[in-house]
Structure 1
């Protein structure tokens, strides 16, 4: 098995297990623990040492991992990579029980800008975080994941909607209501009781008495896979943006220890990033201030550092090529994409993109450029938010992807591996982070 094949196998396994932002952070924590990183807590004193490897989490859904350079203290510049742990999905409402025609359904809310049509006729499961009360009165939290397909959203047959292929629209309140089971007679199904049973099954000995609240996502149980006649593609849920979390983590594993480096994976990017755990919150800036340990040190750190915002890019779809600028349509398996926007929807500038073009040439990785059509609206990333909040020079980059925000997305099988190589080159770059 080649290095790229091993990488994609690991990527598929990571995404399969990282079914929610909470599970994504849990998976990353396990890998950091195994690599000798020391866990820090925001409410405790830190004793950071040159060469030390550390991480901390916030809300259980965002993570920062960093290494203190042996040869270059953080004040001489940190090489930073950012991604996000959340993906558009369906989330269970607080009072979700819907009983219709003898069926038990779940009320859900759309999280982020989800592409809704692909959610029909999929084998769905449920995962997330529970808050529960123990029999001794103590309040605790735990993660659960049903793993098995326990829900489905059946399509309406075309015989009952002859115009479905021309004009069917989706009402998210009425049309996206997952089906759980068929009720027997006057049977009443208590969703919180169902969660309590699952909690006790996954966490024996938790002494849970009742489930108080939850943050639960539905997800497609179809496993990620390398697909295509020649294995050209990776198909999976949540490629946006767990692919970037994984590539950032893999790059961090190849850090040589000389420079100071950091990986931040924020929650809530898909809904604007304004939260305690989001990029528009204080998590990163507060961490950097503690690393710098003084106001002067923090100013030096931010001035001499660089952030790479890694988030998927829109590959040029062969059936919809006219949706792209003719000179800026990224192709799958032709390399990571520099994302550029004159209106600062992306944070790349000539200085940061110039450095990455140099690093890519040294690493033997091809780069592409993406600029949205001038007559179309442009999306955004944590890049401009981080640049504005922290004041650090920033680059936006990503792997070209099809079907972004669908329940199952598609990327090239070479691109994520190339991005990980490029990010590792960036982490180990010994020079100044900017033009002389």
Structure 2
């Protein structure tokens, strides 16, 4: 292993910069593509022809907030299997509604809609920015990101003496952020704030030029190493930028096994169920793999052979045992932060792992010299799901579900162990290399 895969401290530092640069799925896809471009990967447009894939060839394609990248090993052929790391770029939170500006009792506020399943209380009393993409009337798309311009204020305990006995938040009434107050609220608008921030590339637009916007709130507090020995990493969007960045670094720094194609598939909208054009349930991955296979001259029979020999590792954040809520976890399987990325198992196929997947994952961890552990739910606490079962169903490809153990999943600020974050990247590199 080379570079960041060898150096934990450097990896965590660059991961922090990646998270900061990726407040939304659109920014994440852009940042991934920028790093791939800098490394010599060729950008492909979906509405243009693609050059045939050759040994050692690499490239990527972006679809909205999703990006798929690939790197071919030596001796690739029409029957070469793919080794896919499947991840997602989106995180739970709040999306700005159409016509978001309104006034209430002298306050300028913005109307927001809940995206996915965030821990609502974790977003209270944080310094929030607005980020995403806007499309102008002439069809130009801009990535935008403001500074700290908003806050969702909690009601003082003097006005709700029972708040510490049970806080209940109404998703319509209690989570609308404030932007300004009094005389300064006059003329304040979301469009104006976005216009003032301008495009990520440096160009600008007037507020009345915005024809469409996909923008959301984000926590402006940067990621940070914390803890008595600085072993913890506190950060927004660890679910699931932890897996996205692990896959990016592994793809950049690992030579794929001869006769294979390494693929990073970073989808959007996993937190909503993935049923979108850029989600795992959509056609994006199948479209890309089909075009790569066509460039290798594959017949239908050869394509079926290749998929039968292929693998997908679905990497998404999981749960560390929580010291304050031990009863929420299985009494015997107790994954702990710092003891390695997890193999995620579920008898009802909420995760796609099976015995063959467990064997593949064990080999990759051994090759990377990274410890691993297992996660299974308490029978009284149903688990969530991932893109793993979706990808297995969509493509018929063998799939195994894994992930970094977290505390505070779906909080505005989650917590991981630095060794687990780095370990996932190392194991992904071993997977791409043919473990």
User: How does the TM-score come out when normalised to structure 2?
Assistant: 0.94
Q: More deviation in 334-343 or 63-72?
A: 63-72
Taking structure 1 as reference, are residues 355 and 186 closer, same or farther at Cα in structure 2, changes over 3 Å only? Answer: closer
Taking structure 1 as reference, are residues 323 and 201 closer, same or farther at Cα in structure 2, changes over 3 Å only? Answer: closer
Residue correspondence of structure 1 range 390-401 to structure 2 within 5 A: 390-401=395-406
CA distance in 1 between partners of 2:424 and 2:97 (Å): 37
Residue correspondence of structure 1 range 14-413 to structure 2 within 5 A: 14-47=18-51, 48-59=53-64, 61-73=65-77, 75-133=79-137, 138-146=138-146, 148-184=147-183, 187-199=186-198, 203-204=202-203, 210-257=209-256, 258=258, 259-293=260-294, 294-413=299-418
Deviations 1:363-401 (A, max 9, x none): 221110011011221210000000000110000000000
How far 1:233 sits from its partner (Å)?
0.5
Secondary structure of the corresponding residue to residue 70 of structure 1: coil
Secondary structure of the corresponding residue to residue 122 of structure 1: coil
Q: More deviation in 257-266 or 181-190?
A: 181-190
Contact 1:73–1:260 (Cα < 8 Å) also in 2: no
How far 1:263 sits from its partner (Å)?
0.5
Contact 1:254–1:424 (Cα < 8 Å) also in 2: yes
How far 1:101 sits from its partner (Å)?
1.2
Taking structure 1 as reference, are residues 244 and 185 closer, same or farther at Cα in structure 2, changes over 3 Å only? Answer: closer
How far 1:347 sits from its partner (Å)?
0.3
User: How does the TM-score come out when normalised to structure 1?
Assistant: 0.94
Contact 1:104–1:181 (Cα < 8 Å) also in 2: yes
Taking structure 1 as reference, are residues 152 and 40 closer, same or farther at Cα in structure 2, changes over 3 Å only? Answer: same
Q: Which runs of 5+ in 2 are unaligned?
A: none
CA distance in 1 between partners of 2:378 and 2:120 (Å): 24
Contact 2:195–2:205 (Cα < 8 Å) also in 1: no
CA distance in 1 between partners of 2:243 and 2:208 (Å): 38
Deviations 1:87-112 (A, max 9, x none): 00111110111201111011100100
- Where do 4+ consecutive residues of structure 1 move more than 4 Å? 205-209
Contact 1:288–1:298 (Cα < 8 Å) also in 2: no
Deviations 1:155-176 (A, max 9, x none): 1110110100012200010000
Contact 2:79–2:302 (Cα < 8 Å) also in 1: yes
Secondary structure of the corresponding residue to residue 414 of structure 1: helix
How far 1:208 sits from its partner (Å)?
8.2
Contact 1:53–1:66 (Cα < 8 Å) also in 2: yes
Contact 2:145–2:194 (Cα < 8 Å) also in 1: no
CA distance in 2 between partners of 1:116 and 1:40 (Å): 39
Q: Which runs of 5+ in 1 are unaligned?
A: 431-436
Secondary structure of the corresponding residue to residue 41 of structure 1: coil
How far 1:190 sits from its partner (Å)?
3.8
Taking structure 1 as reference, are residues 200 and 313 closer, same or farther at Cα in structure 2, changes over 3 Å only? Answer: closer
Contact 1:196–1:210 (Cα < 8 Å) also in 2: no
Give me the CA root mean square deviation: 1.8
The count of aligned residue pairs is 424
CA distance in 2 between partners of 1:323 and 1:380 (Å): 17
Secondary structure of the corresponding residue to residue 209 of structure 2: strand
